[in-house]
Structure 1
Amino acid sequence: MQQLLLLVAFLLPAGAEAGKIIGGQEARPHSRPYMAYLLIQSPGRRSTCGGFLVREDFVMTAAHCWGSTINVILGAHNIRQQERTQQRISVLRAIRHPGYNQQRLLNDIMLLQLENRARRNQFVRPVALPQSQIRLSPGSLCTVAGWGLVSQQRRTDTLQDVQLRVQRDQECSRRFNTFNGQTQICVGNQRERKSAFLGDSGGPMVCNNVAQGIVSYGSRSGTPPGVYTRVSSFLSWINSTMRRFTQQHSPPVSMAQKATT
């Protein structure tokens, strides 16, 4: 079995080794208004991940992108510039799935409750989630987007995207002994040099305008296929978690106020 590579990127100096979306191209600016760029601070290290806005007050990402402090940038195309379209919001609460297994990378999904609600506009807008647990058919064409390094010598500051096809579960079962087809999706044709890579963790795989997958892990060489968390398998947890923590964060209402509403 090939070694696994968590697709989280550490904040490295120019010239340090890292990767990017392989075989993709620069996305049309602000064509993916749900994209989020995560700045993660943990004891002794800083790192970055992708994510995506699923409601004005929640961003979804991979559980392995957890940190003690996380800040989210929405509405960005070039993450090195202070674009007027950008909204920078602190994370109030990072909620990893209770079944997350760090060793086997199972249930690799996390919700980030934002300190303040995002302002919805043409540059910042949530993406739709699946409405049912219907599985994607092998061959389905989807798009993955993220930020990363172009090469060992040069950064890419702008959002990149790439089109990938869903593969049969067997393609990932043969490569990764941790793969679970019930909660994960196998994505990317091994005959094509196209895949997500370092720095793309937590970003969405969008199929027909619905976020069906979350970038989770792949091979160290960046050779497809890669493994994505299957969003539809977690709909009950997603909905109940957002409902529960929204209620906890709501401002108190007096009985007099309730009587007049």
Structure 2
Amino acid sequence: MKVQILLLIPMAFLLPSGTWAGEIIGGQEAQPHSRPYMAYLSIQRTGKTYICGGFLVAKNFVLTAAHCKGEKITVTLGAHNIREREQSQHKISVSRQILHPRYNKKTYKNDIMLLQLHHNAHLTKEIGLIDLTSAHGRVSPGTMCSVAGWGKTILTDSSDTLQEVNLLVISDKTCDNQYPHYYSSSMLCAGDPDDQKSVYHGDSGGPLVCCGVAVGIVSTGFKNSIAPPAVYTRISHFVPWITDTMRGI
């Protein structure tokens, strides 16, 4: 799939064959700055620029997927139209990429990473934090949640503005039957198999938000298919690691 650098670059060079990293399909444009926690990640790797999503969880930390690692990452906060120089936008370089120590790039187990920002973000109405689910939080199948990103709206057209889509959380059994490396303790699935709303290439690392809190991180799905469901890193499993890591910096 050919796309423009700095806009909607697939992370396929980081992924095992048969999988992809998320991009919005069947959604709609988000109300500008209605998701002030969203972060746009510009990733330098092997001389090229790629993108991922992320979300601000502390003034100096963004949470994203481990497979979004790179040689250099710049975070843009406060963006709606990523191609415009909006006054609300604030770019901050990443000083440290902290991958989960047991991340497995083949199975996507522990696909989570903290990005320590070079300096604290200045919180405004367009730049804010999102709460994380608790360590004991468990979202039930059938719960309606949402995900957002700057990915494509269909397979051939891209969007400069933040897109969002509502998705149903589905059962672990359904995902276990579809994905060979599904771990229900640290992963969850969202996206009704009978609905063509989903995520696809380009939005890895963005948050799955349920009832106002982040419960998942866009991780993986099937290559060259928009058919839901997709797999998300289950944040509740990693709350102790997230908390300890940020406190230890």
TM-score by length of 2: 0.90
Contact 1:4 1:217 in 2 (8 A): no
Alignment deviations for residues 34-84 of structure 1 (CA, whole Å, 9 cap, x no partner): 000000001233210000000010000000000010000000000001100
The letter of the residue matching 2:121 is A
Taking the aligned partners of 2:176 and 2:134, their CA distance within structure 1 comes to: 27
Moved over 3 A (4+): 150-154
Alignment partner of 1:222 is 2:229 = no
Contact 2:27 2:153 in 1 (8 A): no
Match of 2:11 in 1: none
Unpaired segments ≥5 residues, structure 2: 1-16
Contact 2:25 2:152 in 1 (8 A): no
With 189-198 and 38-47 compared, the bigger mean Cα shift is at 38-47
Structure of greater Rg = 1
SS at structure 2 position matched to 1:99: coil
After superposition, the CA RMSD in angstroms is 1.2
Match of 1:32 in 2: 35
TM-score by length of 1: 0.86
SS at structure 2 position matched to 1:241: helix
Q: Deviation at 1:206?
A: 0.5
Alignment deviations for residues 62-118 of structure 1 (CA, whole Å, 9 cap, x no partner): 000000100000000000011000010000000000010011110000000000110
Q: Deviation at 1:148?
A: 1.5
Alignment partner of 1:96 is 2:99 = yes
SS at structure 1 position matched to 2:44: strand
Alignment deviations for residues 166-204 of structure 1 (CA, whole Å, 9 cap, x no partner): 100111111110111000001111000011111110000
Unpaired segments ≥5 residues, structure 1: 9-19, 246-261
Alignment partner of 1:236 is 2:201 = no
Q: Deviation at 1:151?
A: 4.2
Match of 2:127 in 1: 124
Q: 1:153 to 1:222 in 2, by over 3 A?
A: closer
> Of 102, 110, 131, which aligns to 2:113?
110
Share of identical aligned residues, percent?
A: 50
